Structure 1
Amino acid sequence: MYPSTTNFYITNPAFCKTTRLVSLRPADKFHKGSRSLIVSFTERDCDSRPTEASATVELSQHAEMLRCRCRCRHSRHHSREGGSKPISKKCWRGPGGFQRIGALQINSWAEEVERFPTPGTDTPGPTAHCLKPRKSVFGPVLKKTASSTMKPQKSVDEKQSLLPLSRTLANHDASATRLQQNVQRLSSSIMGSLASHRESSKLFTPLRLGEMNLEHRVIMSPLTRLRCPGSFPTPLVTEYYTQRATKGGLLITEGMHPSLMGGGYYGAPGMFAPEHVRAWKKVTEAVHAKGAFMACQLWHVGRAAVSISLGGRQPVSSSATNIGYFNRTTPGGQKVPNETARAMDLQDIKDTIDDFVHAAKCAIEAGFDCVEIASGNGYLLDQFLNSNVNLRTDAYGGTKENRARFPLEVLDAVIAAIGASKVSIRTSPWGTVWLPLDADPIANYRYALSEVEKRGVAYVCLTHPRTDLLLEEKTKMENMYAAIKSGKVAAAVEDLHLRHFLEVLKTTPVLASGSYDGENCFEEVEGGELDAVSFGRWFISNPDLVEKLRLGKRLTKWDPATFYASEAGSEGYTDYPFGEVKDEEAAKC
């Protein structure tokens, strides 16, 4: 009966929660001097775990704000040291066992308007990242006053927006029908206002990356899907990318092997033969017809390959090391153990650089607007950067400068071939995919990225430390914490972020990928920390992701079972629906 308001957010500083309002309905009991509503919502905590809950929202007599009191149902909360501890009887709660978590100024439709201090402190939240005042994505910028109330710098004309609603809510004898109408009107107003603010977000403003003039900053990440039998794209691949193309948007392709030795996965595409150029030209033409741009990622897997996928040849890497995983390599999806790689000699290094140059030229000939060099996620270039995998003692190993030499030589050669404005690079400083965490990731990758900064490339894409497709986010973070605390990594737990690397990229546009969703994709772009955000799995299951983010629509959940296919079928590839789906099929994000 009552409309959903899926984009109404409240921040709970006491628990570092973000609340998404799901539905409104009249409360069973009215509070004196106000009308009350029952709110059903979903919360996500710092670990992105959803929690179903409900709350009572009081509409004050003068309709100045919504006050939300949430019954405390959480079994744990965060301590200042970043850990967690059980809630005790002294847990801060308001009257009647309700915890006061925030308020919403009706005349501003702001995301955050009040912060309540944690008991015994003068601060509003438990951890450092919770204390930083945020700009509201959906409303005016808020600033804190001496009264500890967050007030908007600008407000809507109250004569047009507040007085009718205020008079209605002040009438304590209003009928249940009238209250229902007010709820519907309030819900519609919130939804309309928030949708408007989403559309005006910086995320949907123009951005220039090299020679590409984007109209929004929602980027599609490179996603290995293994739908290219024989390493060539089919018409289904063309349909897949065209579905996700938007005017002024940027799609980054799945990784393409620059040579036969760079391969390792059946169904992954290549970019080194004339047939590859002709096949991918059909894809780029279809994407360009929709007004979108397309970048080709060049991807040498190094020791992640096995000899069965290389025609019997031994995989190569920076050193003779073994990845230690099982790899899916055969057309039937059979998994075989990885082998110990052969350390590349100087001729191997020269040949591989030439392969990247040839592949980059092929990509431009195929109609791609940019070439992205894959230098992260545990593949070949990352195997040279990582101090725990690169055990060399020559000019390509030992010091951070030497370990970065080969990736930078690849970058320089590709720039010389097609121009810096058409070249980009992707890396993962905190990566643990296919390799252990680097012994000194901050110093190592700051140096490498400072050298990239000098090259004037189109963009750099960094991967957040929380991202690892092989492990659950919680498991990965626990592994990283353990490595740091054991003394094997020259970093502290509080260093697990991208700020160290953003500091050296002063002029180069920066994209970031890693667990972004319909809620958290706005803040870093709004705050100027990033120039754009890159989505992976949400683009798989939402071909119209850009439109959904713009309008605040629910996102469709992906099916991991169809990420990689041994057969080039449409299931989980081109058959995801456009538009919103039913509640039970929608992702809780």
Structure 2
Amino acid sequence: MNTEKKLLTPVTTGTLELPNRVVMAPMNRRRALNGIPGESAPIYFRQRAGAGLIITDNTAVAPNGIGYMGTPGIYNQEQVDSWKRVTAEVHALGGRIFMQLVHAGRIGHYLNNEGQMPLIAPAAVSAEGLIRTPGEIHLPNSEPVEATAADVRRLIGEHIQGAINAIEAGFDGVEIHGAHGFLPEQFLHPHTNRRTDAYGGSIAARSRFLLEIVEGTAAAIGKERTGIRLSPFVKLNDLPDYAEEAETQRYIVDALQQMGILYIHLSDQGPVGHGKIPEAFIRELRRRYSGLVILAGGYSAETAEAALQAGLADLIAFGKPYIANPDLTERFRLNIPLAVGDPATYYQGGDEGYIDYPSVDPVHSPIFVANATADCR
């Protein structure tokens, strides 16, 4: 790819200088034990420090919001201290890294939660589907308990504390996971939110949980360090279409504009058949919201460049391409074909399929070189 094309040009915000517009999308590689990033995590993220911005695995803010086996956490000091090793390695190479904060809500099984704590959600509505549990046994998602008013306040506080912990761990900012059918979207959606209190019923009430998390996070760590991921019109984790979705998303976007947070990250699942975000909605969002917009959803270098040139986004996030191509931006720069990953190790396993994908050397040699790892051990 030509270096003059927009994808590889820098972006400067009030607090961040990004050398390119390539974002490493959040992917839960599920290699944490007891919520603690493993010994290889600093190597993995350092290998990908050439991204304009790295967003981590979705990282649990509470011991009952883990969702999937192997999910990392940010709710205790041991986790914070382990993440410090990750941020130090990325920053040593001049990289920038945000943590994605997640609470899975009704998605998961109590066997995957710390202390086998029960799942919690806006209402006691179970999700369809199976979840992997210890012993490689796949079981139905557990039925969640309905959050009390005190639980709701605590859940909001856990997200905010997770953001504070992330900054302590050295992250440049956080991304609140308001997408993919996890807890904040469960509050947004009338199928899963059947509450009759201040957090259920109207669009404003159903949006309150998510917006109070964002508002509290921005107050705690700075709006310039706060981003959010949304997936409007996407159907993941057993959430159907609903009549007020477009109006709900407009309400949220307008509130985020008023808060002045750094970015909105839109996750389009059209390429994998789970719902496409209409271009008309993206253009409307761009008119309503003046912050950075990140698009994710099966992009190639060519389609990413086209989206940037069309003014649909400021940055483009790449997920699976970053698994097998730690040097993705360099491959884009040199127009080198992308390596193909092994799906069997995408979301489980050890170092194989995690830190053993090679990088091409920067002088366009046909020789492949592995990233050094000794100084991270």
Give yes or no for contact 2:64–2:118 (8 Å, CA) kept in 1.
no
1:575 to 343, 347, 356: 356
SS of residue paired to 2:61: coil
Residues 19-77 of structure 1: per-residue CA shift (max 9 Å, x gap): xxxxxxxxxxxxxxxxxxxxxxxxxxxxxxxxxxxxxxxxxxxxxxxxxxxxxxxxxxx
Superposition deviation, residue 578 in structure 1: 1.6
Superposition deviation, residue 502 in structure 1: 3.1
Give yes or no for contact 1:396–1:405 (8 Å, CA) kept in 2.
yes
Superposition deviation, residue 336 in structure 1: 1.2
TM-score, structure 1 as length reference: 0.59
Give yes or no for contact 2:7–2:21 (8 Å, CA) kept in 1.
yes
1:412 to 209, 215, 226: 215
CA distance in 2, matches of 1:229, 1:361: 22
Matched to 2:85, the amino acid is K
Give yes or no for contact 2:233–2:241 (8 Å, CA) kept in 1.
yes
CA distance in 1, matches of 2:101, 2:59: 5
Give yes or no for contact 1:512–1:534 (8 Å, CA) kept in 2.
yes
CA distance in 1, matches of 2:72, 2:100: 10
Residues 203-226 of structure 1: per-residue CA shift (max 9 Å, x gap): 112213452111100000111001
Q: Are 1:499 and 2:302 counterparts?
A: no
SS of residue paired to 1:549: helix
SS of residue paired to 1:291: coil
Superposition deviation, residue 411 in structure 1: 0.8
Q: Are 1:296 and 2:80 counterparts?
A: no
Residues 161-204 of structure 1: per-residue CA shift (max 9 Å, x gap): xxxxxxxxxxxxxxxxxxxxxxxxxxxxxxxxxx4xx2101111
2:123 to 305, 319, 323: 319
Q: In the superposition, relative to structure 1, how do residues 562 and 497 fare at CA in structure 2: closer, same or farther (>3 Å)?
A: farther
Matched to 1:430, the amino acid is F
Match of 1:212 in 2: 16
Mean Cα deviation higher: 573-582 or 393-402: 573-582
CA distance in 1, matches of 2:28, 2:194: 29
| Structure possessing the higher relative contact order (Cα contacts under 8 Å, 6 or more residues apart) | 2
Q: Are 1:527 and 2:272 counterparts?
A: no
CA distance in 1, matches of 2:279, 2:30: 35
Match of 1:374 in 2: 177
Match of 2:144 in 1: 341
Match of 1:555 in 2: 338
Match of 1:442 in 2: 246
CA distance in 1, matches of 2:100, 2:297: 17
Superposition deviation, residue 393 in structure 1: 2.2
Residues 498-527 of structure 1: per-residue CA shift (max 9 Å, x gap): 33433321x111001001113211011122
SS of residue paired to 1:388: coil
Mean Cα deviation higher: 332-341 or 353-362: 332-341
Q: In the superposition, relative to structure 1, how do residues 285 and 453 fare at CA in structure 2: closer, same or farther (>3 Å)?
A: same
Match of 1:461 in 2: 265
Rg (Cα) greater in structure: 1
Give yes or no for contact 2:229–2:265 (8 Å, CA) kept in 1.
yes
Match of 1:266 in 2: 69
Matched to 2:131, the amino acid is N
SS of residue paired to 1:287: helix
CA distance in 1, matches of 2:280, 2:315: 20
2:43 to 236, 239, 246: 239
Give yes or no for contact 1:449–1:501 (8 Å, CA) kept in 2.
yes
SS of residue paired to 1:436: coil
Match of 1:86 in 2: none
CA distance in 1, matches of 2:365, 2:137: 35
Q: Percent identity?
A: 34
TM-score, structure 2 as length reference: 0.91
Match of 1:279 in 2: 82
Superposition deviation, residue 465 in structure 1: 4.4
Give yes or no for contact 1:430–1:465 (8 Å, CA) kept in 2.
no
CA distance in 1, matches of 2:49, 2:333: 15
Q: Are 1:544 and 2:327 counterparts?
A: yes
Superposition deviation, residue 497 in structure 1: 5.6
Instruction: List runs of 5+ in structure 1 lacking aligned partners.
Output: 1-194, 481-492, 583-589
Residues 504-557 of structure 1: per-residue CA shift (max 9 Å, x gap): 21x111001001113211011122221000000001111110011122221112
SS of residue paired to 1:519: helix
Higher percent of residues as helix? 2
Superposition deviation, residue 263 in structure 1: 1.6
SS of residue paired to 1:363: helix
Mean Cα deviation higher: 279-288 or 554-563: 554-563
Q: Are 1:254 and 2:57 counterparts?
A: yes
Superposition deviation, residue 239 in structure 1: 0.7
Give yes or no for contact 2:3–2:9 (8 Å, CA) kept in 1.
no
Superposition deviation, residue 495 in structure 1: 7.2
Give yes or no for contact 1:231–1:266 (8 Å, CA) kept in 2.
no
CA distance in 2, matches of 1:308, 1:581: 49
CA distance in 2, matches of 1:217, 1:317: 36
Q: Over aligned residue pairs, what C-alpha RMSD do you find?
A: 2.0
Give yes or no for contact 2:282–2:312 (8 Å, CA) kept in 1.
no
Q: Are 1:328 and 2:328 counterparts?
A: no
Match of 1:39 in 2: none
Superposition deviation, residue 494 in structure 1: 6.8
Instruction: Please show how residues 473-488 of structure 1 align to structure 2 within 5 Å.
Output: 473=273, 476=274
Give yes or no for contact 1:377–1:431 (8 Å, CA) kept in 2.
yes
SS of residue paired to 2:98: strand
Q: Are 1:510 and 2:293 counterparts?
A: yes
Q: Are 1:399 and 2:202 counterparts?
A: yes
Matched to 2:300, the amino acid is D
Matched to 1:315, the amino acid is L
CA distance in 2, matches of 1:307, 1:345: 18
1:383 to 186, 198, 213: 186
Match of 1:170 in 2: none
Superposition deviation, residue 430 in structure 1: 1.6
Superposition deviation, residue 394 in structure 1: 2.0
Q: In the superposition, relative to structure 1, how do residues 255 and 302 fare at CA in structure 2: closer, same or farther (>3 Å)?
A: same
Q: Are 1:308 and 2:115 counterparts?
A: no
Residues 220-268 of structure 1: per-residue CA shift (max 9 Å, x gap): 011100111121112211111111111x721100011111122232211
CA distance in 2, matches of 1:543, 1:309: 29
